[in-house]
Amino acid sequence: MDNGWKKAGLIGLGTVLGALLTLNFSAVAQREAKLPIPYEDLQLLSAVFGKIKSDYVEPVSDEKLIREAINGMVHGLDPHSDFLDANAFKELQVSTQGKFGGLGIEVGIEDGVVRVVSPIEDTPAFRAGIKSGDLIVKIDDTATRGMPLSKAVEKMRGKPGTEVVLTIFRKGVDQPFDVTLVREEINVKSVRAKMLEPGYGYVRVRNFQERTGEDLAKALRDFYKQGELKGLVLDVRSDPGGLLNQAVAVSSAFLPKDALVVYTDGRTPDARMRLTASRENYVRGRGEDYLRDLPPGVKKVPMVVLVDGGTASASEIVAGALQDHKRATVIGASTFGKGSVQTILPLGNNAGLKLTTARYFTPSGRSIQAKGIEPDVFVDDGRDTSNRIREANLERHLETGKGEAGAKPSGAAVKPAPAPDAAKDNKEPQGATPPRFEFGAPEDFQLKQAMNHLKGEPVIASVRETAAASTQPAEAKPVAK
């Protein structure tokens, strides 16, 4: 038995070492040659590998054990790092192009369970009432606890017209409930623009894809064909982020040439960058500079950036840059707080590693990580955010990091009184799917306050004040101009 165990251990150790070499750990060892190889820890890993191979109740393939060991190693780092097998690597590339078959949900991992970051507007998930903060505990009949994020995404995506059943756990609802969704071709247009009234434009950025900067530039040119703008609202509420270079592009559209947009700090030289409003930081390769001929008024038009608790990552970079340069007034609620950069590192066999390699900082040196962007003017639109998860709530989230973490945002922030806990006072019935809030609609309270700000009229801090004013003769008290 001892000989058999030793043999299994040696085989396991050889397999593990081979996998590490496949994943380019040899390159890391060369770059950090001073670090000793953790031989004793590898022996422990080999021992566990061997015991599972010899004693587990059912046979387990080497491939499965190695894959799960890698997943555990990566998922133990932070909520955003992930190992991407060939299918997941392909899906990631597809998602940045904005077209795929699926449900329309941005998801992450919380405590080993799939968590909804944000439903994408005008998709099956959005129309079915899926909410930010919902936990997807089952996909069809498969529990998601412990499931790699890439596997969960793979199970939710599929051929348009096919059904999938999600079992949802929602704060404030006593029991999990099922939602049946029909997959569609999700063709997410990241930029939506319209003229609110003569002279006032509205641009909503849903997420940051490969063409976001180009689409924004086209929308701005279309506005100015109708005449000079008096004001502009840039809406990044519930925008989960996306490509870093596109965040630089959107910021660069409104900032002076070569103004600092964001800088990053990490352990490797490639992770330490200063990204400015210049062509090489948002155009890949020899592509055309689509911001070159923007109307001059774009750089000076009074602006409001609308944010909320779902504003994350790339959209926080934009809000922070425009706020620091005093180019726009940020209105809404505190943002998500994802201030880290994930780099896609290609590995062998068409696989990849999505690895957190840096924290990013606003031009003034503020770290967004686990803190978010504080708006210049707080405006509560009455939405129930009691189940809203932020970066600071996620297990193993990165700490703030160095930088001027305590720096205050520009402008005079006015905080409304805290809202009552709607989950306690008014629980939703099981499986309820209330009408979705539509950004940019006529009843959009925060957008109305953004327009008030641009016109120099009083800004009301909470929709509750408006409701109270409608039942009392007293006039609602304005809180900011």
Q: How far apart are the first and last CA of the chain?
A: 80
Please identify every residue annotated as catalytic. 313, 324, 338
Across 353-367, 373-387, 433-447, least confident range: 433-447
Confidence band of 416 (pLDDT split at 50, 70, 90): very low
**What are the tens digits of pLDDT across the range 133-147?**
899 999 999 999 988
pLDDT at 475 over 50: no
Cβ–Cβ < 8 Å for 317, 261: yes
Confidence band of 279 (pLDDT split at 50, 70, 90): very high
Indicate the Cα dihedral angle 128, 129, 133, 138, nearest 10°: -30
**Which pLDDT value is given to residue 91?**
67
Instruction: State the Cα–Cα distance between residues 222 and 214, nearest whole angstrom.
Output: 12
**Which pLDDT value is given to residue 384?**
63
Bridge partners (DSSP) of residue 266 are 358
pLDDT at 305 over 80: yes
**What are the tens digits of pLDDT across the range 79-122?**
889 888 877 777 666 655 556 788 988 888 877 889 897 788 78
**Which pLDDT value is given to residue 414?**
32
**What are the tens digits of pLDDT across the range 422-470?**
323 333 333 333 445 679 989 999 999 999 999 999 999 998 776 555 5
The whole-chain average pLDDT of the chain stands at 82
**Which pLDDT value is given to residue 399?**
82
Instruction: State the Cα–Cα distance between residues 452 and 448, nearest whole angstrom.
Output: 6
- Report which listed range, 64-73, 152-161, 245-254, 392-401, is most confident: 245-254
pLDDT at 323 over 60: yes
Distances (CA, A) of 398 to 261, 333, 356, 369, 408: 22, 22, 10, 7, 21
pLDDT at 218 over 50: yes
Mean pLDDT score, 389-408: 65
**Which pLDDT value is given to residue 400?**
75
**Which pLDDT value is given to residue 431?**
38
**Which pLDDT value is given to residue 410?**
35
pLDDT at 196 over 90: yes
Distances (CA, A) of 395 to 108, 243, 310: 12, 24, 18
**Which pLDDT value is given to residue 272?**
95
**Which pLDDT value is given to residue 463?**
81
